[in-house]
Structure 1
C-alpha cells in the first residue's frame, strides 16, 4: 500500500470516472448521429469519422455544434414512444366506445339503483343490455 498513496488512488478513480462518462457521451453522440434526419449520409459519415478519429475533441465539438438539436431529438423520440404506448394501450383495451365507456354507464346505473330510481329488475335488464 505504501507504493500507491491515497491521492494517487483518488486521481486514478477520477480519471476512470471521466473515461466512463466520455464513453457514455460517445455512445449518445453516435446514436444521435444515426437518428438525425437533418443530416445526409455524408454528413453522418463525416461526424462519425470526427467523433471516432479525434475522440475527445470530436465528441465535444459535436455536442457544441449540435447539442441543442440533440436535446430536441431526444424529446421528440420520447413523445413518439409515449404516443405509440398510448395507442397500443387503447388498441389492447379494445378502443373507446362511441357513446362513453361501459364502465361509466355501469357506474351510472349503480348510482341510479342506489338512489332507488331503478328497481332491481330494471337494473338487471339495463345491465344485461349494456354488457351484451
Structure 2
C-alpha cells in the first residue's frame, strides 16, 4: 500500500506560527546586532581600545555582549543616531549652498536654474531641491 504525506497533518498551524515567530526573532536579532556594531564604530567618545573591547564582546558572546551593551550604553544610541542624521543634513545643506552659490536676489533665477540642473542630474533628491529652493527664495 502506497502512503502519501499530507503536510497539513505533519506540520500543524501552531508549528507554522512558531517557525514564523522564530524567523522573525532571528531577523530582529541580526538587526539589533548590526545596530550595536554600527553604534560602536560611530561613537566618537570611545577610544580605539574601548571600541575593540565592545566589538569583541559583542561578536564572541553575541547575546550577552549585545544585552550588556544595550543596558550600559543603549540610552545614548538614539542620540548618536540623531546627531549622525543632523550632520548628514548639515552636509547636504552645505553642499547645496556651495553648489548653488550665495549670490544676491538678482541671481535668483540663475540659482533656481542651477538647482534644477542638479536635481535633473540626480545629485539631490526632490526634498533637498524643495528645501534649497525655499532657501533661495527666502534669502
In the TM superposition, residue 102 of structure 1 has moved relative to its aligned partner by 2.7
Where does residue 92 of structure 1 map in the other structure?
99
Find the partner of 2:90 among 80, 83, 97: 83
1:60-109 superposed Cα distances (whole Å, 9 cap, x missing partner): 2111111122111111111110001011111121x112x435338xxxxx
2:108 to 103, 110, 115: 103
1: CA distance between counterparts of 2:50 and 2:24? Answer: 31
What are the ranges of 5 or more consecutive residues in structure 1 without an aligned counterpart?
Answer: 105-132
Aligned residue number for residue 115 of structure 1? none
Unaligned stretches of 5+ residues in structure 2 = 1-6, 110-139
TM-score by length of 1: 0.71
Q: RMSD of the TM alignment (CA)?
A: 1.5
Aligned to 2:61: 54
1:1-132 map, 5 Å: 1=7, 2-93=9-100, 95-97=101-103, 99-103=104-108
Instruction: Check 1:27–1:101 CA distance in 2 against 1; reply closer, same or farther (3 A cut).
Output: farther
Paired residues, what number? Answer: 102
